[in-house]
């Protein structure tokens, strides 16, 4: 049975400009419905299987995943992944993840898969409806941070962040780990939810890094990824 995904969009199928909070909610909600409530490092093949058939704003969308082959851009340079629609394959999107670059890096494989899933859900329905070709590529590892940021890529990264480390679950785990490290935890209300907060200048960045490392292992991502989410969620400052 296809899982339904809904968000505000124009008549063309293009999404409206969603807020960061709305994108994060969608990412966390889809993670829960695809992979369950319990947060643990998921096997990418489970995501591929469960996110193969979706209904986006009422329209069927088939996603074909491939993580076994090299992936290149139009210039022949290797990239982490690509999400594309071929008009000859109606209602179908192909997500290809670079097996050569990501085969030994499960954390990067998870993040790239979630990033491309965003493009499939938000950017491809309009192309499918119009029957036009469209492709989005994630840059090479060494160049990704230097790539220009635009609305679609910013949204994909926010979605990916919430999909891999939902805010509420990360906040609970952070409070537990910070307490174990003896950090002074303060509480504030974010979106009517009591949220832990740690001042880095009091706790020390070495302790923050250690906490991030423990959380990275728990969520199946990199320490750098956790560091970004801690700041974006307002858990560290």
Condensed to tens digits (0 to 9), the pLDDT of residues 71-103 reads 998 889 999 999 999 999 999 999 999 999 998
Q: Tell me what pLDDT residue 140 has.
A: 58
12-34, pLDDT tens digit by residue? Answer: 999 999 999 999 999 999 999 99
Q: In what order do the strands lie in the sheet with 81-85?
A: 3-5, 53-56, 59-66, 92-97, 81-85, 134-138
Nearby residues of 88 by Cβ (< 8 Å), 6 or more positions away: none
Residue 141: pLDDT over 70: no
User: Quick one: pLDDT band at residue 144, thresholds 50, 70, 90?
Assistant: very low
Q: Report the candidate in 78, 119, 76, 75 with the shortest Cα–Cα distance to residue 98.
A: 78
C-alpha to C-alpha distance for 15 and 18, rounded to whole angstroms: 8
User: Cα 38 vs. chain centroid, distance in angstroms?
Assistant: 17
Average pLDDT over residues 114-129: 97
The confidence score (pLDDT) of residue 189 equals 86
Task: Look up the pTM and report it.
Answer: 0.92
Share of the chain above pLDDT 70, in %: 96
Round to whole Å and give the CA distance between 228 and 212.
10
Q: How many CB atoms lie within 10 A of CB 213?
A: 15
Q: Which residues contact 93 (CB under 8 A, 6 or more apart)?
A: 61, 62, 63, 64, 83, 84, 85, 120, 124, 128
């Amino acid at each position: 049975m296809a899982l339904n995904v809904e968000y505000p969009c124009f008549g063309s199928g293009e999404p409206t400009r969603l807020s960061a909070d709305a994108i994060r909610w969608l990412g966390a909600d889809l993670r829960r419905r695809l992979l369950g409530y319990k947060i643990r490092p998921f096997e990418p093949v489970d995501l591929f299987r469960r996110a193969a058939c979706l209904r986006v704003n009422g329209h069927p969308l088939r996603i074909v995943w491939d993580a076994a082959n090299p992936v290149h851009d139009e210039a022949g340079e290797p990239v982490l992944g690509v999400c594309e629609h071929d008009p000859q394959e109606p209602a179908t999107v192909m997500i290809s993840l670079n097996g050569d670059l990501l085969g030994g890096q499960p954390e990067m494989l998870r993040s790239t898969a979630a990033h491309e899933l965003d493009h499939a859900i938000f950017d491809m329905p309009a192309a499918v409806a119009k029957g036009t070709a469209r492709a989005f590529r994630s840059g090479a590892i060494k160049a990704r941070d230097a790539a220009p940021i635009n609305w679609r890529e910013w949204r994909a990264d926010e979605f990916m962040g919430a999909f891999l480390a939902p805010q509420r679950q990360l906040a609970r785990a952070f409070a537990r780990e910070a307490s174990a490290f003896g950090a002074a935890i303060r509480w504030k209300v974010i979106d009517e939810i009591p949220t832990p907060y740690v001042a880095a200048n009091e706790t020390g960045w070495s302790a923050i890094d250690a906490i991030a490392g423990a959380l990275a292992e728990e969520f199946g991502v990199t320490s750098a990824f956790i560091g970004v989410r801690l700041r974006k969620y307002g858990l560290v400052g």
